[in-house]
């Protein structure tokens, strides 16, 4: 079993489903995998698989990094109704197009067709703090260290708060209110 898949399955659960990403000339295909039965009962998790084969850069940084994204939610009974598989594919595609990484504190506005019917209009890049400390990165077969970024659904008000006050202040609000970030019906914290 590939190291990345084993790393994900030990926390997120068994890989049960997947969506094949769009093929791009000269680039690896980035798929989205679905996991169930992980460390959080009743939770469905999603992860990109393949993005880490492309080195990404972040403005203001000299180096590059290898990255995969995860997202998680309670339920749903029908994963085809979840926004996360399409949202993860959207963010991964954007990273491939720009070759820019998404780092902790970044906010990614989602296209309206992805968020229709959801209170969450953007994704917030966070450390995967609900999981053990070793989950945030893994060294894969070729020796690359791959970072795991957790993309959390946020409301337009929360996105505006981050734009106005910064991600550090937002994370202080998260600590103060301690919302369940896997609850797709949670109340906005700001």
Residue 55 lies in a domain: yes
pLDDT digits (tens, 9 = 90+) for 118-165: 899 999 999 999 999 999 999 999 999 999 999 999 999 999 999 999
As a whole number of angstroms, the distance between CA 79 and CA 76 comes to 6
Number of domains the chain contains: 1
What tokens appear for 37 in the block?
A: 């039965």
Query: For residue 50, what are the contacts with CB-CB under 8 A and spacing of at least 6?
Result: 21, 28, 29, 30, 31, 92
Helical packing angle, 167-177 and 156-165, nearest 10°: 130
Give the residue numbers spanning the domain of 126. Answer: 3-177
Name which of 80-84, 104-108, 158-162 the model is least confident about. 80-84
């Amino acid at each position: 079993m590939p190291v990345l898949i084993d790393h994900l399955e030990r926390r997120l659960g068994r890989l049960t489903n997947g969506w094949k990403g769009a093929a791009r000339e000269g680039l690896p295909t980035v798929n989205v995998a679905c996991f169930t039965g992980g460390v959080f009962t009743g939770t469905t998790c999603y992860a990109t698989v393949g993005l880490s084969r492309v080195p990404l850069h972040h403005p203001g940084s000299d180096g590059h990094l290898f990255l995969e994204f995860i997202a998680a939610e309670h339920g749903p009974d029908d994963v085809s109704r979840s926004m996360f598989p399409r949202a993860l594919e959207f963010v991964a595609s954007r990273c491939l197009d720009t070759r820019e990484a998404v780092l902790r504190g970044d906010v990614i506005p989602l296209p309206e067709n992805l968020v229709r019917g959801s209170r969450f209009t953007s994704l917030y890049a966070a450390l995967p703090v609900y999981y053990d400390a070793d989950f945030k990165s893994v060294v894969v077969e070729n020796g690359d260290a791959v970072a795991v970024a957790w993309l959390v659904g946020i409301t337009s008000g929360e996105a505006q708060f981050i734009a106005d006050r910064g991600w550090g202040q937002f994370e202080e609000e998260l600590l103060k209110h301690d919302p369940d970030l896997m609850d797709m019906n949670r109340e906005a914290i700001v």
